[in-house]
Amino acid sequence: MRLGIYCDSGINGGHEEMLKRFMLALVPSTQVETLHILVPITNEPLYRYVRDLANAHPKVKAIGLSYTAESIRGNVIALWRTMRATAATLRALRLDKVLIAQGTIASGIAGLFAARRARIETVSYLPLVDEAPANASRAGKLKWLVKRRLYRMPNAYVTLNDHLCGKLKTLAPNARAMVLENYVDDRFSRSTLTKEAARATLGLPDDGTTIIAHVGRLNFQQKRQDFLMQAIERHADAFARTLVLIVGEGPDAARLQETIDASPALCACVRMVGPQKDVLPYIVASDALVLPSAYEGVPLVMIESVLAERPIVVARVSGLESYLPDALLFPAHDHDAFVERIFAARDFPLASLSAAFRRRFSREVFDAQAQSVVLQAGDARNAGVEPTARHSDALVK
């Protein structure tokens, strides 16, 4: 099989990290003859990774895109020109199938349209599925109708859990929908770093101060750091001897800093530490982590925290209750329950949940599933093919 992977994201976030692992899992498959990977040149970390992968493996070919989804967003003419040029590229590669990385169905559409124009079987790697809007305006209803059409375009879907898979089967009944769960480096479960050592390394207090961490992209719409700030302000006394660390970067970083600076309660306990290459020390240093998101796929930080045996308090959204017990979940719009869960979580026993996560989110399981879903997605010719689940250790991060 001549397989293509298309990603036009200008962001190097969690979905792109999982895409890298997906690429790596496909390299050793004996069913994949060549692997052509198209990513933006301006997404330097992602492009560098693909280029290094191509240098390490002759079957991998790196192809740089001159645009990102963000650079053509809202420009219909640019989208049309980009789609036509990309379709010509895909035809020239003579691909049997192309995997398109889509954060949502509206992202990566230049690649989706191009693959359809080139008459190549398309598999969407889609972590987030939209909900039909309630009480939408006329424009909102029209936008949803367009999205409904987009959901019918891919031949198959690869998503992150049964909850999202079920939603896709409703939206795209003629497309095959399959689950590929994330995997996390086992160093999170095997680390010998202690809480005391992590705090000393990071210059954090170890004097009885409770440390809470939020790790993720700074985006109020999805990750709701603003909701976290509201909860702290409403319960300032509860956070009197607490340090809240905000780890990450994103479009709302400046707004978040302005919110903190304008509030004495937030200034007293919230610290923005920016993006970190390695979040493990911050996870280990924490008494608990928080993730009050409005929607999620399967967040890596949730898995990483549980593997490191640190409780993480998560909004009950997107089927995340299938991963965590009730004690670590809160109703998405309830500030009081959120704060209550945060401080109760410090004493929650995690050993059995961590052991279950180690089995469920292992690299061995991921590699075998990754090869299987791509080989079988929407292709009856590959029914019954057993994937070769050998590791390629080059470029493992």
In a domain, 226, yes or no: yes
Asked if residue 314 and residue 371 are part of one domain, the reply reads no
- pLDDT for 19 equals 96
| Long-range contact pairs involving 358-361 (C-beta distance under 8 Å, separation at least 24) | 358/186, 358/189, 358/307, 360/181, 361/181, 361/182, 361/183, 361/184, 361/303, 361/307
In a domain, 394, yes or no: no
Q: Which two three-digit tokens encode residue 188? A: 């999170």
Three state DSSP letters for 62-79: EEEECCCHHHHCCCHHHH
- pLDDT for 68 equals 97
Question: Which pTM does this prediction carry?
Answer: 0.82
- Give me the percent of the chain exceeding a pLDDT of 70: 95
In a domain, 70, yes or no: yes
Q: Which two three-digit tokens encode residue 377? A: 């997605």
List, for residues 139-152, the tens digit of each pLDDT value. Answer: 888 999 999 999 99
Asked if residue 64 and residue 86 are part of one domain, the reply reads yes
In a domain, 388, yes or no: no
Q: Which two three-digit tokens encode residue 308? A: 């490191």
List, for residues 276-296, the tens digit of each pLDDT value. Answer: 999 999 999 999 999 999 999
Distances 282 to 90, 279, 304, 342 between C-alpha atoms, Å: 42, 5, 11, 17
Q: Is the pLDDT of residue 189 over 60?
A: yes
Mean pLDDT over the full length of the chain? 92
* Order of all β-strands in the sheet with 210-215: 270-274, 242-247, 210-215, 288-291, 312-315, 329-330
Task: Determine contact, residues 140/37, Cβ cutoff 8 Å.
Answer: no
Q: H or E stretch including 336?
A: helix 335-345
Asked if residue 130 and residue 248 are part of one domain, the reply reads no
Q: H or E stretch including 288?
A: strand 288-291
List, for residues 75-112, the tens digit of each pLDDT value. Answer: 999 999 999 999 999 999 999 999 999 999 999 999 99
d(CA 378, CA 123): 8
In a domain, 299, yes or no: yes
Mean pLDDT, to the nearest integer, of 315-344?
96
Mean pLDDT, to the nearest integer, of 181-188?
88
Asked if residue 312 and residue 339 are part of one domain, the reply reads yes
Mean pLDDT, to the nearest integer, of 175-187?
90
Task: Determine contact, residues 288/242, Cβ cutoff 8 Å.
Answer: no
| Helix/strand/coil for 366 | helix
Burial category of 359 from C-beta neighbours within 10 Å (exposed 0-12, middle 13-18, buried 19 and up): exposed
Q: Is the pLDDT of residue 309 over 70?
A: yes
Asked if residue 165 and residue 267 are part of one domain, the reply reads no
Q: What b/e readout covers 226-237, taking b as 16+ CB neighbours within 10 angstroms?
A: ebbbbbbeebee
In a domain, 397, yes or no: no
In a domain, 304, yes or no: yes
Asked if residue 211 and residue 164 are part of one domain, the reply reads no
Mean pLDDT, to the nearest integer, of 113-122?
96
3-state helix, strand, coil in the chain (%, to 5): 45, 15, 40
Contact partners, residue 306, CB within 8 Å, separation at least 6: 312, 324, 350, 353, 354, 357
List, for residues 47-70, the tens digit of each pLDDT value. Answer: 999 999 999 999 999 999 999 999
- Provide the domain count of the chain: 2
Asked if residue 92 and residue 215 are part of one domain, the reply reads no
d(CA 323, CA 313): 12
Asked if residue 57 and residue 45 are part of one domain, the reply reads yes
Instruction: Specify which residues 63 forms β-bridges with.
Output: 38
Asked if residue 132 and residue 29 are part of one domain, the reply reads yes
In a domain, 165, yes or no: yes
Say which range, 134-138, 200-204, 335-339, 344-348, has the weakest mean pLDDT: 134-138
Q: How many CB atoms within 10 Å of residue 350?
A: 19
Asked if residue 173 and residue 193 are part of one domain, the reply reads no
- Give me the percent of the chain exceeding a pLDDT of 90: 82
Q: Is the pLDDT of residue 234 over 60?
A: yes
Structural domain harbouring 138: 2-183+362-382
> Quick one: DSSP state of residue 227?
H
d(CA 13, CA 291): 16
List, for residues 237-281, the tens digit of each pLDDT value. Answer: 999 999 999 999 999 999 999 999 999 999 999 999 999 999 999
Q: Which CATH number characterizes residue 338's domain? A: 3.40.50.2000
d(CA 327, CA 338): 11
- pLDDT for 378 equals 56
First to last CA, the chain: 27
d(CA 310, CA 29): 35
Asked if residue 114 and residue 12 are part of one domain, the reply reads yes
List, for residues 343-391, the tens digit of each pLDDT value. Answer: 999 999 999 999 999 989 988 889 989 988 887 765 543 433 333 334 4
Asked if residue 333 and residue 237 are part of one domain, the reply reads yes
